[in-house]
Structures are given as structure tokens and as C-alpha cells.
Amino acid sequence: MGVISRMREVSPYLLALFAIVFIGFMVATDADIQTVLHMGENPATAVIGEVNGEKIRYAEFNERLEQQLEQQRRMAGNDAQLDEAGIRQSLWDAMVEEILLRQEATKAGFPVSRGELLDILLDNPPDYMRQPFTDSAGRFHRERYIELVTQPERLADYIDPASGVDPVEAIERWKQDLVRIEDFLRQSRTREHMRSLVSAIGSIVSPGYLRRQYIVENSSAEVTYVAYTIDRVPDRDVTITDAEIERYYRQNREAFRQKKPMRKLKYVIFPLEPTAQDTANFRKRLERIQRELESVPETQRDSVFALLMAEYQGRTVGLTSVAALDPQRVPFLVGKPVGSIVGPVEILGKFYFFRIDQRESGDTTVVHASHILIGFGSNKDSARAEARRLLQRARAGEDFAQLARQYSQDRGTAQRGGDLGWFPRGRMVKPFEEAAFAAEPGAIVGPVESPFGFHIIAVHSKTNERIAYSEIELSVTLGTTGRNQIFREAYSFKQQVQKGVPFDTLARRLNRSAVETAFFEATTPVLGSRALTEFAFHNPVGAVSDPLELKPYGVIIAQVIDERKPGYKPLGDVRAEITEKLRRIKKLDLLRSHVDSVYQRLRGADILARIVDIDPSVQVQTATMVKDNGFLQGYGNDPIVTTLIYQVPVGIIAPPIRGERAYFLVQVTKREEAELKGLDKQRFVELYRRLYNMGKASAYYYWYTALRERAAVEDRRSKFYREF
């Protein structure tokens, strides 16, 4: 019976393996068989998508989701909030990747054979297969493992008749597990094959590239420079004509090639907001709970609260340190006697009733404190004096929270009056922590110096309590009547547009905004919705969608308003982009004469710093350890300037360098250029290994991204699954 028990324990783990490695945590689909039947399709043969002509069946996709339900609930709990749309997307991506990898492995001559899988299962079983056949002493019973893997029917020999286990059912389940394990191994081995192949090719390092990288990494320069950026030129000083835009478009047309079809939508949102009646119903529920709790003696309120917990699906939180509790709830829980009921209290727009179920002393002491931070600035003594003045004002009775809002330089907490919430030891820097834990509740201490500056600390409370509590949560929610009314309005909108009322006109009439999307491809979920995207690509321009509920937006009505076929993007689509490029070019042109003039007056000067006598508006900057890698300290990225820094003579002020967004005047004060003779065998090997590993790490990502981009993927999921 030991093997059966171990297999029972481990089997769910085996089934969860696909999720952990390929899919992430999944949940059962929100589609049902009726959805498919209503579409007039056979659930066994319905196709949910295609990858390069290879079909993904609805039944297979749905089964893989359902296989994860038990695991998800076991790991996250039945009450966990699950991102079902995200889960379906993760599964879809995983299945597309599996198919693409299998297709590419076959093309490359690297398919995973059944013999290879048997070798793994029989000769080198992975740990998750060994575990059910490993005893408490750590011994792996290989003979029994081989027996049951190759002859699943022999499992019946290990089932105790008195155990109540059905041998036929147990054998069938074990066979199914073996099939799934084989599928998983095939997928993982295919991935390993393709990763190895792609990494081997993508990580090849040419000798020329290696030598160039050695020189770049081991050369350095010190420069003084001035950057005349295009920000100096106001937009109003630049005129860009339609003729210039059109000429740029013609000359650079290849840069605007569109590879895939695109669509554009216009949509209006009908928010799913509670009605006045919903608010009134909420008030009645709130008042009813208050009335029922107040209508009985305190000794009976616990029983009433328990009934209300069941009715309103309340929740219970076990003993928890105050430091780990929700900070918003802590003020209503700390210091309250066991059995007391607090509420209604409002937290972030929702109302709560709390009951303190248990409290006890724990090992972790926590402090509730606020602080005012004064940074060191340029004068540490002045900062200390300012902190002492604020300490005196706080001790004299001024509102600490108001002082924090006005003076604290910790802007993250200043808006909360300096409130840091509850924290245990080890959370704050040492000097702050020691002062806060040493002070008594109600004390204001400081100035306390830390690496951040000087702190004035107000200690509000201190406790080592662990608290268990129950809560009832109430909020205003949209009722069925209100929801139905919103959908009726959305359907009416659709019908009127179909009858000829312009989309924008009708939206304005209803005081709603009609929003246009940018052009998007078939792989882009609009507002996070695959259904909207597929509607756009499966309907002609002018088509209007059915009402679609999308969280957190509401009910959406959309219309296809434009389409773009593969080819060159129209000028209208790229006009703004071209205008911005031309504006940058013209601003650089306008800067050129001024920079040339300054340079002419500087010629012969020994140091670039003398430029301030000619042009007081500039800021002279110094950069050390500049490398020919495109990055200039104090400015940012510009490959042109860093390349030329290694070409101009040392010591002189170089002629103006035109960068991407600025003109530079540069003086190289020191330059050390590496020589290849320093690239000895040891350095060569070390650099080669590093470049090889860098290439290996990124090769698969770039290869798969390109593969996925080229693939013909048809996604029909929105026909089978409701959107959320």
C-alpha cells in the first residue's frame, strides 16, 4: 500500500508540472459546452486556433485548463481572486510556443523520438518520477518503478483489497498520468533541443568582434565638453512645410513599411456604475446590520455577528502580528478587547464591521511612528539646526502631522503626515530603529542622524500583539436591474448606429466620449480584449459590435472605422513622426551657426572652460572613464560623440560634433587606448567566455521573437470564451 499512498501524494504534483514549467498557474475556463454547441460546432473537433496551418482543438485547450483547476485551488484556495483572462493568455502563448518549437525541431532534424523519451523514463527518471518510489531512507526502488512504468496493470498487485481503492480506476489514472508525463517530457526535450541549437549558433563570437570589444572595454578617455541641445531652439523658430514632409516620406519610404494588416476602432463605454437604488439598498443593508447589533445586549452580539458573517460571506483572519496586518485596518483592531465589535468603518470606499476574536502576546514587537526628515543638503550643521527647531515646535504642541506635511523631505510619507505605519525591528536603518524602539509611546525624539538626514520621530504606540479577527465587508454594487438597463442602453446605441446615426453624434447626444484607437495588429488585444481585436479583423469597416463587458471599463460598443493592408503606411499615419524628425534636424541646423561662431572664437584657447567668457549660457561638464560605447556621462546616449572622442587629437578643442540631438564642443584631456598586445591568452579566453555566455543568454529570446513574428497564427479564442 506504500506505493499507492506515495503515488496519491505525488500524482497531483505531476499533473501540476505542466503549469509550473510552461503555463504558470491556471484555472478552469469560463467557457462551457453549451457555448460551443450554440455555435453549431462539435466540441470534439472545434478549432480554437491555428499555427502555420496546425490546428489547436477546443477540446485540447479546454482540457489543459481544466487539468489545472484542482492544482490552482489547492495552492491558492477556493476564495482566491484569479486573473482568468491572463491565465488563458498564458496557456495560449505556451501552446503556440510548443507547436512552433516542434515544427522547427522537425525542420532542423531534431525531433524528440519515443526512444529518447523511454531512455529518460527508464534510465534517468527525473526527481518527480522517482519520488513516489523512494522510501523514507532515501532509497529509490528502481525495479518496482520500472515494473509499474512498463506494465501499469501490475499496479493492481500493490492495492490492498481492504483499502477501498478500485484497481481498475487506479490503473486507468496511472496510465493517464504516464501519457501526460510523456507529453510533458516531449515538450521539455524539444525546448532543450532548440535552445541548445539556437544558443550554439547565436553565441558564436568572431575574432574581430572580440578584439573590438577588448579595445572598447579597456580604453578610456577624460573629456571636457559642452552640449548645445536642441532644447535651446523654441518650436516657434522652426517651420516645417507639407512639401518637406512629403519629400522626406518619399526619400525614406522603406522606413515606413507595414508588414501586417492593421485595423482601427472607435468605441464608447457605458460604465457599470451603481444606480441611486443600488446606493439606497446598500444603506438599508448597513443600517440593518447596525440595528441588529445594537438591538441586543453586548453579551449576545457575538452570536448575532456570527449569523451576519454567514449571511454576508464574511471572512476570518487567524492570529497575525500587527506588523503583517493591513495598515488601514490596524487602528480599528489594536487595543480592542476580545469579543468587541467595531463598525461601521470606511476604508477605501468600502464599509466594514470587525470582531476581535483572539489576541495574545507574540515574539515580535512593533512600533507605530511618524517622522519628519531634514536632508543634509549642502550644510549639515544648518540641517541639524533646522531639525532642532522643528523638534522644539513639535514638543511645544504644534500638530506633528502638519509639520511633516510642510517640512519633511521624505515626500512619500509627508503627504500622510509623516506616518510610517507599524514596523518591526530590521525594517528601518539602525539609528532610526534604536531611537524609535527606545522611546515610550507619546514621546517625540530627535534629531536622529541616519544616512538620509536628520529625523524627528513621534512614537504613537508600541505592541507585541498578535490579533485574530473577523470582518464583514459591504460596498455599493451594481444590481441586476441596473445592469440590465445599461445593457439595454448599449444595445439601443448599436441599433441606432446601424440605422445610420453617426457614431460620434450619438455619443455626444448621450454625453459619452467616442474614443478612437490607434491602428493595431491582429496580435494586439484592444483594451486587453481579444474579442475586440478579433471583431475588428473579422468584420468590414462600418461594422458595429454587440455590447461587450470588459473589466474594469464597463460595457463597450465598438465600430470598425478603418483598415490598412500590408504595404507602406500612408503619409497621414506617419506625418507626426516625420514632423518631429524634421523639427530635430532643423533645430540642429539652426544651432550650427552659433556653435561654429563660438568655436572660431575659442580656437587657440588652452582649455574649453574659457568658453564661459564667450557664451555665459553654457554649462561646462567633465566626464571621466568615457568609453566608445555610446554613453557620455552627464548627457546620456549618443554614439556619434563617443566614437569621435576616440578620433580627435588629445589636448585641442575639437571642431563641433553634430550628434543626434545636440552639437558638442569637446576637449579630450586624457586618453588611454588599449593595445591588442595586452590581449593575452588568459584574457582572450575570459572575454570569449563572457561574450559567449551573453550571446547564449539572449539568442533564444531573439530567435523565438522573430519566429513568432513570422508565424501565421490564427486566434479564435473569443468565439469560445467570454471576456472579462
pLDDT, residue 170, reads 83
* Contact between 215 and 672 (Cβ < 8 Å): no
What long-range pairs does 282-287 form, CB within 8 A, spacing at least 24? 282/474, 282/475, 282/476, 282/477, 285/474, 286/344, 286/351, 286/474
pLDDT, residue 333, reads 87
pLDDT, residue 117, reads 78
CA distance 474 to 476: 7
Best CATH choice for the domain 220-256+573-673 from the list 3.40.50, 3.10.50, 1.10.3470, 1.10.357: 3.10.50
Query: Looking at 12-21, 284-293, 613-622, which range is the least confident one?
Result: 12-21
- Considering only CA atoms, which of 620, 514, 610, 634 is closest in space to residue 264? 514
Higher pLDDT, 194 or 442: 442
Once rounded to an integer, what is the mean pLDDT over residues 442-448? 90
Q: pLDDT digit string (tens) for 100-146?
A: 988 888 887 777 777 777 888 888 887 777 887 887 778 888 888 88
CA distance 548 to 527: 11
Tell me where in the chain the CATH 3.10.50.40 domain(s) lie: 260-273+480-565, 274-477
| pLDDT at position 26 over 60 | no
Cis status, amide bond into 424, omega within 30 of 0: no
pLDDT, residue 646, reads 93
pLDDT, residue 73, reads 59
| pLDDT at position 536 over 90 | yes
Q: What is the CA 596 to chain-centroid distance, rounded?
A: 48
DSSP 354-411: EEEEEEEEEEEEEEEEEEEEE--TT-HHHHHHHHHHHHHHHHTT--HHHHHHHH-S-H
In this structure, the dihedral spanned by the alpha carbons of residues 696, 702, 708 and 711, taken in order and rounded to 10 degrees, is -100
* Confidence grade of residue 69 (pLDDT, cut at 50, 70, 90): low
Query: Looking at 323-327, 369-373, 519-523, which range is the least confident one?
Result: 323-327
pLDDT, residue 72, reads 64
| pLDDT at position 15 over 50 | no
Higher pLDDT, 14 or 657: 657
pLDDT, residue 18, reads 36
Q: What is the mean pLDDT of the chain?
A: 84
Q: pLDDT digit string (tens) for 211-265?
A: 888 888 899 999 999 999 999 999 999 999 999 999 999 999 999 988 889 999 9
Sign of CA dihedral 75, 78, 82, 84: positive
Once rounded to an integer, what is the mean pLDDT over residues 165-179? 83
pLDDT, residue 599, reads 93
Q: pLDDT digit string (tens) for 662-690?
A: 999 999 999 998 888 888 888 888 888 88
Question: To the nearest whole percent, how much of the chain has pLDDT over 90?
Answer: 33
Model pTM score = 0.57
* Confidence grade of residue 298 (pLDDT, cut at 50, 70, 90): confident
Q: What region does 549 belong to: left with phi over 0, alpha with psi -120 to 50, or beta? A: beta
> According to the per-residue pLDDT averaged within each range, which of 31-35, 81-85, 684-688 is highest?
684-688
Q: What is the CATH number of domain 260-273+480-565?
A: 3.10.50.40
* Confidence grade of residue 87 (pLDDT, cut at 50, 70, 90): confident
- Considering only CA atoms, which of 321, 349, 348, 352 is closest in space to residue 334? 321
**Amino acid, single-letter form, for residue 294:** E
* Domain 274-477 architecture: Roll (3.10)
Query: Looking at 84-93, 308-317, 466-475, 568-577, which range is the least confident one?
Result: 84-93
655's grid cell? 571642431
pLDDT, residue 390, reads 92
Query: Looking at 387-391, 478-482, 601-605, 715-719, which range is the least confident one?
Result: 715-719
Note the helical H segments in 439-570: 480-498, 503-509, 530-537
* Contact between 47 and 720 (Cβ < 8 Å): no
Question: To the nearest whole percent, how much of the chain has pLDDT over 70?
Answer: 91
| pLDDT at position 640 over 90 | yes
* Confidence grade of residue 584 (pLDDT, cut at 50, 70, 90): very high
CA distance 680 to 685: 9
Q: What is the CA 120 to chain-centroid distance, rounded?
A: 36
- 47-51: strand order across its sheet: 54-57, 47-51, 713-715
Query: Looking at 63-72, 90-99, 118-127, 488-497, which range is the least confident one?
Result: 63-72
pLDDT, residue 25, reads 30
pLDDT, residue 596, reads 94
Number of H helices, E strands in the chain: 23, 21
pLDDT, residue 129, reads 79
* Confidence grade of residue 208 (pLDDT, cut at 50, 70, 90): confident
CA distance 489 to 493: 6
- Considering only CA atoms, which of 618, 660, 615 is closest in space to residue 636? 660
> According to the per-residue pLDDT averaged within each range, which of 12-21, 73-82, 337-346 is highest?
337-346
* Contact between 472 and 312 (Cβ < 8 Å): yes
